[in-house]
Structure 1
């Protein structure tokens, strides 16, 4: 289960400040060892957490830039790893081309992670006979964060007082997989009702993700606040169907 929460605040003459938290959790799983492959009777859990601060501002009417600084932690049973990372993104708008948007970003730029914990210490028998047990440390490799470089474009193919149709696509270069492309459409009526469709991970080798479909509503109540509710369905291959639900409140 993946949970996410965040907020943003517009500060006059300064920009937009924000904070967020993302938590990935899993059901408990049985502990298995080489000696007891059917399970020891114990259970273990695994998960990760990301906590970050955000800042963004318009440098001009057409050009904007934003940053995330975040703490990244992972755990599996008694082991854990932690590091810090940053995201950087920019967007440029060309007004006379139906507000053609060009964006680029780098995500998860930071030092490597390494698991540590009490299970790293193992008891090993040296030689023969009793009393020849010593403690040894397992040497675990460091591993890199999933660094992503992304470039994308979006354009309003149709834009009237009531209707808007946006076409968008982005290309992603990850450090741990092949390059791939995401593409999609969004239709909105009066900036209240939204219908979306697309395809993820085009051209990715052995990719599991695929067709996506979603809808949303963005409605203002009594001129006091605006509520945004979105739902999305995604074909995720061997992971079957994945569904996303998000709720946003804007004052």
Structure 2
């Protein structure tokens, strides 16, 4: 029965993947809901997002939902990102394992743009009003290990974007798969991200008062509402692998690689390496490569500290990402497991 379910899962993921392999330079800038693409978690961000086969616990809720089931306890995670152009990103995630059921998780990402002065066609220099746009993504995840080597996970997300009196609401899904062959620390991961229907904005800010064509003089204006065009979600397929390059009592090193096919831009190649001393101190680095002109992200670096007391674990992680045109990104993450 488990084999049948596994086969069905793989076929479904491959069918979803086939629908997404339609990217290219002509598709750059054609998708919306870009908050779905903003990375979270200092560890995975320091590895340039190459660790879809290595993500476990709460951090896997974003990177690969299958990895949630590889954590046997409960884990809570909070991340703050200083994004570019004074944009703040806060992310909360929690996952827990339930015996004979699998693992479940809850995540929330909130993107704040700060205060922006409102401008209109009639007041291009500002109306004096202040806007505070905000985007949010709420996710619910289920993950299960079919065997000690195979896991599958899925996340359903509710997306909300609000700008003054305009809002857009949509849904998206992530599907993840991890296979551990049990050889030399080798692992494989497959993720279909942000698969879902198109979104569009609606609201009273689209209302315009105009004269009725052909109406008699003195006829009151009528209110017309403009229709917003739909925009697609930034979907992608990620295929990655990781391998324990060094495994000693106190020292270990893991290398990771990933290929990402996007429906919104050129394909990407990601690589990362993580060094651990005593499973307490960590150094990480990564790089994203793309044939896309003016690609704005560069090398990534990070470090981490993990402390354990019995079954309780506290991890503090930091990462830095080079960014063209804007200030470099910095991630701060706290994880608590028990």
d(CA) in 2 for partners of 1:57 and 1:195?
30
The residue that corresponds to 1:39 in the other structure is 126
Q: 1:111 aligns with which of 194, 197, 222?
A: 197
d(CA) in 2 for partners of 1:121 and 1:76?
15
Report matched runs for 1:234-249 at 5 Å. Answer: 234-249=321-336
The residue that corresponds to 2:260 in the other structure is 172
Q: Please, which runs of 5 or more residues in structure 2 have no aligned partner?
A: 1-87
Report matched runs for 1:1-251 at 5 Å. Answer: 1-96=88-183, 98-126=184-212, 131=219, 133-221=221-309, 223-251=310-338
d(CA) in 2 for partners of 1:168 and 1:204?
22
Kept in 1, the 8 Å contact 2:266–2:290? The answer is no
What is the TM-score when the length of structure 2 is the normalising length? 0.71
Aligned length: 249
Kept in 2, the 8 Å contact 1:178–1:205? The answer is no
- The alpha-carbon deviation at position 204 of structure 1 amounts to 3.4
- The alpha-carbon deviation at position 104 of structure 1 amounts to 0.7
d(CA) in 2 for partners of 1:45 and 1:238?
24
After superposition, what is the alpha-carbon deviation per residue over 1:199-247, rounded to whole angstroms, capped at 9, x for unaligned? 12433332111111100011113x1511011100111111221100010
Give the stretch that moved more between structures: 126-135 or 151-160: 126-135
- The alpha-carbon deviation at position 25 of structure 1 amounts to 0.8
d(CA) in 2 for partners of 1:206 and 1:104?
28
Higher strand share: 1
- The alpha-carbon deviation at position 164 of structure 1 amounts to 0.9
Computed over aligned residues only, the root mean square deviation of the Cα atoms, in angstroms, reads: 1.6
SS at match of 1:119: helix
d(CA) in 2 for partners of 1:206 and 1:73?
29
Kept in 1, the 8 Å contact 2:102–2:144? The answer is yes
After superposition, what is the alpha-carbon deviation per residue over 1:94-144, rounded to whole angstroms, capped at 9, x for unaligned? 222x22111111111111111011111111234596546221111211111
Quick one: higher RCO (CA 8 Å, sep 6+), 1 or 2?
2
Kept in 1, the 8 Å contact 2:91–2:110? The answer is yes
Q: Which has the larger radius of gyration?
A: 1
What is the TM-score when the length of structure 1 is the normalising length? 0.94
Kept in 1, the 8 Å contact 2:185–2:243? The answer is yes
